[in-house]
Structure 1
Amino acid sequence: MTQPKSEAAPEQPAAAPGGPGEPEPRSPREIRLVMIGLVIAMLLAMLDNLIVGTAMPTIVGELHGSEHMSWVVTAYTLATAASTPIWGKVGDLYGRKGSFLTSIAIFLLGSALSGLSQSMTELIAFRAVQGLGAGGLMVGVMSIMGALVAPRDRGKYQGMFAAVMALATVGGPLIGGFITDHLSWRWTFYVNLPLGAVALAFIVIVLKLPKVRSNAKIDYFGAVLLTVGITSMVLITTWGGHEYAWGSKQILGLAALSAASLIGFCYVEQRVDEPVIPLGLFKNRNFTMVSVIGFIVGFSMFGAVTFLPTYQQIVQGASATNSGLLLMPMMFGMLVISLVVGQAVSKTGKYRIYPIIGTAVMAGGSLLLSTLGTETSRFTSACYMVVLGAGMGFLMQITMLVAQNSVELKDMGVASSSATLFRTIGGSFGVALFGSLFTNRVTESMKAVPGFNAGGGGEGSAQMSPAKLKELKGPLLDAYQHGISNGMHTVFLWGAVISLVAVAAALFLREIPLRGGGQPGQAKPEQHLEAAV
């Protein structure tokens, strides 16, 4: 049996700047120019779904086929999740610059074709192409930054990515609404083309990375098994409780297929020279713990982003027009703390305390949000959102930083794609689980109300349309608002409980010195080896 060549990588980070496990020194000007391209690429990946989501009612109205509307999002999500680990491995084996440029080109091709779609079937197919490219955007951004900047100095730049996330979350719905109202829904896709062209130009002209030539072959069988496993998991979380009951044969069949595929994947990965995800990475305690933390961060963040606007619109009477602004307090907390933590890590080289604080604050923010009621003021709920956002700010960049610091430079793409994948899957599970809890709690709260219709969309339904909501008056509206508040209580109370798992994982992290920076007292290679075991 051939052992994977990269299994020992997590335990052997190099300490000498410019060494085989260390990025080559770069001038600040070169890094800043490359960062412009990376930031634009990340903005493309994050803005797309938010912009398109605002335009969906118009798209469905023109192309018809509302019964397939969910697949416009699902096709993109599936392709992104399934391709993420493969892009990471391709970058490690054949060069990060080439794989990143390819992913941008595929994303732009999918965007152009989506804008030209003449039917829902075409749109769904082209969104899958777009998602295939998007899977390489986030991985490419993080792995290229890992190849350019030593972990010790990375915090100086990672705050920009937190700012992009905040900008995309707030600005995406606003931009989507403006484009749909004043241009055409097709421009929600075409807008990617000039941005992508700028990103391509910066990366082609400015980015200089050593050429990688590998005779190794991609583990296609493992990639297929992983793709089937991830796809089945995403479909379970997408369809469960909506298209099919959780105990239906379709959902149980997908669960069995996912389990069998992932077990087969683990078996295959131990027997190939270049596994898609080297299982040896998980022998490193820090890599395993930040994977758990990243999963739970995705779980909590996407749950909050999904259900907080519902509460603010239905219970607090906020406008749905500028829905991105409703999340601004949470994004503000995330941005400020992420910037502060990034600078602190670069100055001190210490990071272990931040995941511990962040997971505890995230749990506290979820607990505060579980107290939201019909009488809670907008100011109070905004303060609670700031707390949750601050907790995430401690974690968003640190989890990626620790994952990348746990591997050699040659495995940077795999580390970046794994961290991204766990966060993506966590978000998918979070939306599905919280959605079921929310719907069940609202339904239970409304059963005693006259006029309640358990079938989706009727009066009192947890999935009420905006038109129906406007028709509610008096006691029925009060009861529905109480039902929404009860649903929020259940969602965030469970979110607080699940966050405690992240707190426990953070406590198991070890303070392994960050590579690079040339600071006095930095650990020697043998000290890294002792700390990693």
Structure 2
Amino acid sequence: MSTPQPATPNPSTAISVQAAPFRLDWSARLMLFAVLSAIFLAAMDQTVVSTALPTIARDLHGLAHLPWIITAYLLTSTVCLPVYGKLGDLFGRKRLLQIAILIFLAGSALSGLAQSLDALVAFRALQGLGGGGLLVSAIAAISDFIPITQRGRYQGLVGAAFGLATLIGPFLGGFIVETLSWRWIFYINVPFGALSLGIIGLAFPARKKTPTPPLDLIGGLLLITGLSALVIFASVAGSTHALSGSGPWFLLAFGIGALIAFALVENFHPEPLLPLAFFRYRTFTLSVIISFFVGLAMLGSLSFLPLYLQDVRGFTPTDSGLEMLFLLFGMLGTSIFSGRWISRTQRYRAFPVFGTLLISVALGLLSTIGLTTTLWHIDGMLVVLGVGLGMTMQVLVLSAQLSVEQKHLGVATATASLFRSMGGTLGVAGFGAVFAHFIGGMSLSDTTAGLAYQSRIVQALHVDFRVAAAVSLGAFGCAWFLEEMHHLLARRSTISDDDSAG
């Protein structure tokens, strides 16, 4: 198997940043609308269920396994990312998007019809299998019809759509539960998904038929097995099982073993699911590492802030959700601005550098909150955190894409998304274990331990935010070594010239 070799950028091959004005035609606008709506749909479904969980538990009589309604979706949507990324590169994004939407809609409809919690968990897993493919294929699809010099602008829109969907989900879920039924949380996906399916069929061009390459079935099975074991370990070890038992550690060892076997298999397959030679590219490797750090710090720490707002400050669930809108305000504007700036200047490196620094500062200041911290302090830090995330998240996807050839865009997109998702999953589990250590069996309903319970929540948050800030500082250090955009463009041009000559 021939492996791609990093080419040394040649100043003579530098690409001019003075590009002609770019306009989307009607077909490209339809494709962009379909892509953004698909991203919004898949991202929103990761959080829309959260506010409906108590109602679902009462209706289906299954409180004990309730967290698996969310975990099942996150598990399947995470482990399928590399498979969708590779298949999209081989067979075209249009077909993969259509398949992913159909799976997602089937899972949504069946979830709404579920009559038991076990059935709902299974159907949520099916829904996640479509949702993960929908998300990564849609993000990669932008690169198929947007020129490389303009891609940053539209990746910023992707970040805005993702952030908006993530924060709107809990509000929409609460509204639907109060006015209709929790089942409509899933049914509502059907008309929107059908609309996206129709637009994709109309606007996306069909890919020309090409010989079917050999599929990396063994590698795919090993990767899915290894990732599944790690996600399940992270989900159960910090919550329902004590780490002193042998079961979680056996699961962890099994997952690591499967991933080691996957790495060995990839070295010999002619069309590997994830070419390990990509990790020889400095910017690609740094992009996925920083994505992992950002996912761990963001999801791991922020997941428990609503608990503080509700049980310490006395907020209602709706009010605590509104408080998180300050994060959205910072994220949306910066994500769109950074994308436009990158497209205009052809430079992006400053955004992850300053973005990860702002994330570190915001998390560090959030680690000082107490029982009576003023809300303007919390709100201000959430805005700063949102600004940092808006400068970082989608830019890292762009840098990973720029590090590889055009034909590998799906793999690059999926890998960056996978590492961010895995970081978030491990972060939630690890920081959840911290909360379990501090709080134990205490609760706010225990009147004899009310103040002690609130104090321990604050102590746990201090530890979580400090660890998250330290992790973000690690991402800040890595960001300094990213290559600038014009160097990556020059290397891509050199690789393309070598391929043409060959």
TM norm structure 1: 0.87
Question: Is the Cα contact below 8 Å between 1:169 and 1:324 reproduced in 2?
Answer: no
Deviates further, 165-174 or 115-124: 165-174
> Which residue is equivalent to 1:490?
463
Question: Is the Cα contact below 8 Å between 2:136 and 2:414 reproduced in 1?
Answer: yes
> Which residue is equivalent to 1:211?
208
Partners of 1:118 and 1:10 lie apart in 2 by: 54
Structure 2 counterpart of 1:374, which letter?
L
* Cα distance, 1:213–1:28 mapped onto 2, change above 3 Å: same
Structure 2 counterpart of 1:276, which letter?
L
Q: Shift in Å at residue 374 of structure 1?
A: 1.2
Q: Shift in Å at residue 322 of structure 1?
A: 4.4
Q: Shift in Å at residue 523 of structure 1?
A: 8.0
Q: Shift in Å at residue 86 of structure 1?
A: 0.4
Partners of 2:492 and 2:128 lie apart in 1 by: 42
Question: Is the Cα contact below 8 Å between 1:305 and 1:327 reproduced in 2?
Answer: no
Partners of 2:261 and 2:428 lie apart in 1 by: 27
Q: 2:352 aligns with which of 347, 352, 355?
A: 355
Correspondence list, 1:334-373, <5 A: 334-373=331-370
Q: Shift in Å at residue 379 of structure 1?
A: 1.1
* Cα distance, 1:470–1:259 mapped onto 2, change above 3 Å: closer
Partners of 1:213 and 1:245 lie apart in 2 by: 52
1:374 is aligned to 2:371: yes
SS in 2 for 1:321: helix
Question: Is the Cα contact below 8 Å between 2:229 and 2:251 reproduced in 1?
Answer: yes
Identity percentage of aligned residues: 40
Structure 1 counterpart of 2:240, which letter?
E
1:477 is aligned to 2:450: yes
> Which residue is equivalent to 2:18?
none
Q: Shift in Å at residue 267 of structure 1?
A: 0.2
Question: Is the Cα contact below 8 Å between 1:13 and 1:528 reproduced in 2?
Answer: no
> Which residue is equivalent to 1:8?
4
Question: Is the Cα contact below 8 Å between 2:226 and 2:256 reproduced in 1?
Answer: yes
Q: Shift in Å at residue 412 of structure 1?
A: 0.9
SS in 1 for 2:67: helix
Partners of 1:514 and 1:141 lie apart in 2 by: 27
Structure 1 counterpart of 2:477, which letter?
A
> Which residue is equivalent to 2:19?
none
Structure 2 unmatched ranges of 5 or more: 16-21
Task: State the Cα deviation string for residues 72-120 of structure 1 (Å, max 9, x = none).
Answer: 2222121111111101111111111101110011000110111111112
Question: Is the Cα contact below 8 Å between 1:437 and 1:487 reproduced in 2?
Answer: yes
SS in 1 for 2:423: helix
1:525 is aligned to 2:493: yes
SS in 1 for 2:45: helix
Partners of 1:35 and 1:164 lie apart in 2 by: 12
Q: 1:401 aligns with which of 398, 401, 406?
A: 398
SS in 2 for 1:51: coil
1:511 is aligned to 2:488: no
Q: 2:155 aligns with which of 158, 161, 164?
A: 158
Q: Shift in Å at residue 439 of structure 1?
A: 2.8
1:499 is aligned to 2:496: no
Task: State the Cα deviation string for residues 397-433 of structure 1 (Å, max 9, x = none).
Answer: 1100001111111111111110110010000011111
Structure 2 counterpart of 1:271, which letter?
F
Question: Is the Cα contact below 8 Å between 1:12 and 1:529 reproduced in 2?
Answer: no
SS in 2 for 1:68: coil
SS in 1 for 2:66: helix
Task: State the Cα deviation string for residues 265-292 of structure 1 (Å, max 9, x = none).
Answer: 0000000011111101111000000000
> Which residue is equivalent to 2:434?
437
Q: Shift in Å at residue 471 of structure 1?
A: 5.9
Partners of 2:189 and 2:5 lie apart in 1 by: 37
* Cα distance, 1:477–1:343 mapped onto 2, change above 3 Å: same
Question: Is the Cα contact below 8 Å between 1:349 and 1:514 reproduced in 2?
Answer: no
Partners of 1:177 and 1:514 lie apart in 2 by: 48
> Which residue is equivalent to 2:244?
247
Structure 2 counterpart of 1:525, which letter?
S
1:223 is aligned to 2:231: no
Provide the alpha-carbon RMSD of the alignment. 2.4
Correspondence list, 1:53-452, <5 A: 53-208=50-205, 210-440=207-437, 442-443=438-439
Q: Shift in Å at residue 208 of structure 1?
A: 1.9
Question: Is the Cα contact below 8 Å between 2:7 and 2:494 reproduced in 1?
Answer: no
* Cα distance, 1:28–1:157 mapped onto 2, change above 3 Å: farther
Question: Is the Cα contact below 8 Å between 1:93 and 1:213 reproduced in 2?
Answer: no
Partners of 2:491 and 2:106 lie apart in 1 by: 46
Structure 2 counterpart of 1:479, which letter?
A
Deviates further, 260-269 or 403-412: 403-412
Q: Shift in Å at residue 10 of structure 1?
A: 6.5
SS in 1 for 2:127: helix
Task: State the Cα deviation string for residues 153-189 of structure 1 (Å, max 9, x = none).
Answer: 0122223223223322332111111111211111110
Q: Shift in Å at residue 12 of structure 1?
A: 9.6
* Cα distance, 1:373–1:323 mapped onto 2, change above 3 Å: closer
Question: Is the Cα contact below 8 Å between 2:292 and 2:421 reproduced in 1?
Answer: yes
Partners of 1:529 and 1:361 lie apart in 2 by: 39
Partners of 2:317 and 2:99 lie apart in 1 by: 37
Partners of 1:106 and 1:324 lie apart in 2 by: 30
Question: Is the Cα contact below 8 Å between 1:300 and 1:495 reproduced in 2?
Answer: yes
TM norm structure 2: 0.92
Q: Shift in Å at residue 34 of structure 1?
A: 0.9
SS in 1 for 2:49: helix
Structure 1 unmatched ranges of 5 or more: 18-24, 444-453, 517-521
Deviates further, 419-428 or 165-174: 165-174
Question: Is the Cα contact below 8 Å between 1:223 and 1:276 reproduced in 2?
Answer: yes
